[in-house]
Structure 1
């Protein structure tokens, strides 16, 4: 299957077939990260959400058990390196043979998710690769992505930021490509460490990275990205010592084409590079929104 959404829909269909009229709730770490708390993936119409904290506490206590038995429920646990990555709560007693079958299928589903995730990873940086970027933008702008609401006040919006390592060619020329690859890997690690597990961090190409993330407004976004910029600027890289990054960002708002979105962020990035580097630029501050859109329009006739 090509997307997580296809897998989510298929496992929901299977659960409905195997457990008709049985209340169920499924929780998952959306990015398959051990650092991320579980989010509700699906809930049958007959169910009320169970106490996730209670289920997690039992799963953490009974580390060797895949199926947890309750007074009037079962809970199937998905684990990765002993960490709890998912839970399927079944809200009434069913035959154990059926429970084991469901447990097996849930593990197949999770392995398929992992296989899909691995096909989208850049081998050097372990970030999402360029081929995955367009799909994620489309998922977000169409509202089809697996995006859980955070428990915060106010509406948050999606933004795209492009990051470029300043004078990276000098690094390769002076220290060689082995050190250059190490710099790429360490910058990627700084980005992963300074964004949330639910954000999407990509190696966009060469020494350029992209991040899709949520923020309340452009001022908050600017502060967040400037903090990331400062983290990289203060980091001591082997042999190279210090280097900087330039950042351009734009809002994902009424974007008709992925190319239009990237063009806006790229113009902001170009402005940052042209005006001193080691800085963050908001596309909206350039005041060229109409001009940028016209530049991405393709005349077919």
Structure 2
């Protein structure tokens, strides 16, 4: 008869311990936390029973294995908590800086961008930046005649249209209510006025089966006209209302 070859006791011990550690790592990688902990405990108990039955028990290594498994589990749990915290922080950051209806940045971001551009310190950079403030014409009438759901849809469709008409370093946000703001970079006054007119014509061209015809009025100013944000926005606002007085669906720059 041929003798059956067996692994040395120490090899059996290491194989069982390494296999159980692999089970722990896979469990915390692939399973929900509760099931991962349960799988780790069961696999560890199975290893202890197997070692006792095989009479190759080494309590020091088994205790070291328990510590190592606890460490792996603890790091995995901590990693999940960090990931959840980062996800939560990103969610609240998004809520704070993005308009929930249109998914555009809100006016807080516009203020940050305005300050960053103003502090570039180069007069030429200020002259090459323009701000366009747009207001959806007769928006109250849209809400009153078609309902707030249609009004919300109008804001979303206009936001998408504006987003499609910005380029490179340009920036668009929902300023508030039915107002939107676009900041143009690297642009002299004539080009800014042409771009503003293109944006207004793009909104006028919107064709949506659930929406009435839409237009916007706008005020346009170069960032070099003022260095104070409040004075600057007051100027843009004045020009916006001048566009309303001029019959709407137009842009006023002077």
Same fold (TM over 0.5): yes
Q: TM-score, normalised by structure 1?
A: 0.51
Distance 1:175 1:254, change over 3 A: closer
Equivalent runs, 1:235-274 vs 2, <5 Å? 235-253=206-224, 255-274=226-245
Q: 1:208 — aligned with what?
A: 179
- Of residues 82, 100, 107, the one that matches 1:130 is 107
For 2:168 and 2:227, locate their aligned partners in 1 and report how far apart those are by CA, in whole Å: 27
Q: CA RMSD in A?
A: 2.7
Q: Is the 8 A contact 1:124 1:185 kept in 2?
A: yes
Residue 136 of structure 1: how far off its partner (Å):
1.5
Q: 1:76 — aligned with what?
A: none
Query: After superposition, what is the alpha-carbon deviation per residue over 1:47-103, rounded to whole angstroms, capped at 9, x for unaligned?
Result: xxxxxxxxxxxxxxxxxxxxxxxxxxxxxxxxxxxxxxxxxxxxxxxxxxxxxxxxx
Relative contact order (alpha carbons < 8 A, sep ≥ 6): 1 or 2 greater?
2
The alignment partner of 1:239 has SS state of coil
Q: TM-score, normalised by structure 2?
A: 0.59
Query: After superposition, what is the alpha-carbon deviation per residue over 1:151-206, rounded to whole angstroms, capped at 9, x for unaligned?
Result: xxx99711111000010110000000001000000000000000025322110010
The alignment partner of 1:253 has SS state of helix
Q: 1:61 — aligned with what?
A: none
Residue 134 of structure 1: how far off its partner (Å):
1.6
More strand by share: 1
For 1:254 and 1:245, locate their aligned partners in 2 and report how far apart those are by CA, in whole Å: 24
More helix by share: 2
Distance 1:169 1:123, change over 3 A: same
Q: 2:248 — aligned with what?
A: 277
Distance 1:156 1:254, change over 3 A: closer
Structure 1 residues not aligned, in runs of 5+? 1-107, 145-153, 286-301
For 1:220 and 1:205, locate their aligned partners in 2 and report how far apart those are by CA, in whole Å: 26
Distance 1:155 1:112, change over 3 A: farther
Distance 1:196 1:113, change over 3 A: farther
- Are 2:195 and 1:224 equivalent residues in the alignment? yes
Structure 2 residues not aligned, in runs of 5+? 1-82
Q: Is the 8 A contact 1:141 1:255 kept in 2?
A: no
Distance 1:256 1:219, change over 3 A: closer
Residue 117 of structure 1: how far off its partner (Å):
5.4
For 1:233 and 1:211, locate their aligned partners in 2 and report how far apart those are by CA, in whole Å: 17
- Are 2:137 and 1:166 equivalent residues in the alignment? yes
